[in-house]
Amino acid sequence: MTLTLTPEQKATVAGWVAAGDNLSAIQKKLAEHFKISLTYMDARFLVDDLNLSLKDPAPKADTNLKKDVPDKAPEKKGLLEKAKEKLGLGKDAGPESPEELEPMDDLEPGSAGAVTVSVDKVTLIPGAMASGTVTFGDGVTGKWIVDNYGRPGFTEISKPDYRPSPADAQAFMQELSAALQRRGM
């Protein structure tokens, strides 16, 4: 498509660009003032053909924003931070109510710090973004996964109805975090 503008039209478009109009505004003004209908891309080509440079407009403050909007964007949580929070292992995480507390006598004793975690090189489990094995301090082994939502879980445990001690659970999350970070996850 060949578009021929008169010198006056070219000067008008140059004035719009100099005033800081963006391509959408120029596209609309061409239609309104000159009855020239262009696609957004054609408007871009026109500005380029006229050797004009669009200005990057400074971000304008939106006066419609609520006053209670925080100045700082919320901190994004990584995969393992979400998992720790879900398991109640974060620094501020805790049960919502006393009913959510698990009785301590149901937990198996274990020795902290003796938990080992390995990450599979390839995860073939549908819905899992990572998987691997764990050996707890008391020798119980299992296979773990982290699903696409960042939730950790176990697919197999060598001892039925096994629950790791709180220290082993914490050590597992720390080892899992370190192992996944080494993998770039």
Distance separating alpha carbons of residues 123 and 155, to the nearest angstrom: 13
CA distances from 110 to 105, 125, 137, 179 (A): 13, 29, 5, 21
pLDDT digits (tens, 9 = 90+) for 126-182: 888 889 999 988 889 999 898 888 888 888 899 888 888 888 888 888 888 888 888
Q: Residue 112 has what pLDDT?
A: 45
pLDDT at 88: 57
Q: 112 or 24, which is more confident?
A: 24
Q: What is the DSSP string of 111-162?
A: -TT--EEEE-SS--STTEEEEEEEE-TTS-EEEEEEETTS-EEEEEESSTT-
pLDDT for the residue numbered 169: 86
Per-residue pLDDT at 49 exceeds 60? yes
pLDDT tens digits, 86-96:
555 555 444 44
Q: Where are the domains of the chain?
A: 7-49, 79-182
pLDDT one-digit tens code per residue, 98-120: 344 343 333 344 444 588 988 88
Q: What is the pTM of this model?
A: 0.41
Average pLDDT, the chain: 75
